Chain A
Amino acid sequence: AQTVTQSQPEMSVQEAETVTLSCTYDTSESDYYLFWYKQPPSRQMILVIRQEAYKQQNATENRFSVNFQKAAKSFSLKISDSQLGDAAMYFCAYRGGTSGTYKYIFGTGTRLKVLA
């Protein structure tokens, strides 16, 4: 069975600095997708970034980028130039690549605090 582990329950970063959130996963599949979702306080969860396992190039979305290490089964999220609006719970999620596999396997989340 697949598992997703976020070992940092809480992280803090100074505004304008860079922070990296860790995520490791375990799977025997070769084809899969990885996601980072952001859940601000009292607001809905939104997709931050996604990575296809078959792509070697790390995904980037503006200030957000990932470090995808397939062999190490690691999928960390880097937030550059942190802003107050980045404060939220961040969830790492795995989804298998088999057609019809709609289930996510979520981690327990990392709460990110941004200090002014």
Chain B
Amino acid sequence: ETGVTQTPRHLVMGMTNKKSLKCEQHLGHNAMYWYKQSAKKPLELMFVYSLEERVENNSVPSRFSPECPNSSHLFLHLHTLQPEDSALYLCASSQDFTGGPQQTYFGPGTRLTVT
């Protein structure tokens, strides 16, 4: 797997823990995204960054805190999560965020389980 990498691939955390998900893209893209993928539900867009600036925060609870220190790296900081936050968290990138026909490149995801 190349292009967009995510670590860790699996994470189990208690409700009082603090952890971070990391995403890195090696494609020279300017836009990065966090998605939440839950079983039997459509992918939910959480955050969008363009050139390290947050473009969108899609009504995501404050227990999820994104950080984009540069155009290649994206973090999702987690604290005091709830069991319903258990899901696959996907990072993605695209050349820019103008949409159209351009392809989005996804990472393999972090499988998060909140106990």
Chain A residues with CB under 8 Å of chain B are: 4, 9, 33, 37, 39, 42-47, 50, 52, 91, 95-108
Give the Cβ gap from A59 to chain B, nearest Cβ, in Å: 11
Give the Cβ gap from B115 to chain A, nearest Cβ, in Å: 21
Size of the chain B interface, CB-CB below 8 angstroms: 23
Q: Sort A-B residue pairs by CB-CB distance and give the 5 closest, nearest first.
A: A102-B99, A45-B106, A106-B42, A102-B97, A44-B108
From the candidates A4, A43, A95, name the one contacting B42 in the complex (CB within 8 A): A4
Known: A43-B108, A44-B107, A102-B98. 17 other contacts (CB 8 A): A39-B106, A44-B3, A44-B4, A44-B109, A46-B106, A95-B100, A96-B99, A97-B100, A100-B98, A101-B100, A102-B94, A102-B97, A103-B45, A104-B43, A104-B45, A104-B104, A108-B41
Kindly state the separation between the CA atoms of A33 and B107 in the bound complex, as whole angstroms. 22
Give the Cβ gap from B27 to chain A, nearest Cβ, in Å: 13
Query: Cβ of B42: which chain A residues have Cβ within 8 Å of it?
Result: 4, 105-108
Question: Can you list 9 A-B pairs, Cβ within 8 angstroms, ordered by A?
Answer: A43-B108, A44-B106, A45-B90, A47-B103, A95-B99, A100-B98, A102-B98, A103-B45, A108-B41
